Amino acid sequence: MADEQYQTLDLPMNEVFDWSEDKTPLRDALWHHYMVENNKDTVATLAHLKTFEAMQPKDVKVEAEKILR
């Protein structure tokens, strides 16, 4: 179950979103976004990513799109 839950985070962005050509895994794109937003505070960034790990795959896609689009 856990693998299925994290699968969306591990997919390349271009497989998750039809608007993206980026092959970076979604998890890495979110990590980069939050590291910039949090002034490279790893603990704060990790807290943001943990919320995505707790979400259902469809919710991950919706919330990530709000942030990265």
Per-residue pLDDT reduced to its tens digit, 1-24: 456 667 899 999 999 999 999 999
When the pLDDT of each residue in the chain is averaged and rounded to a whole number, the result is 92
Total domain count for the chain?
1
User: With a threshold of 0.85, does the pTM exceed it?
Assistant: yes
pLDDT in tens, 39-61: 999 999 999 999 999 999 999 99
Tell me which residue range forms the domain holding 20.
2-68
Q: Provide mean pLDDT across the span 19-38.
A: 96
* Secondary structure of the chain as H, E, C letters: CHHHHHHHHHCEHHHHCCCCCCCCEHHHHHHHHHHHHCCCCHHHHHHHHHHHHCCCHHHHHHHHHHHHC
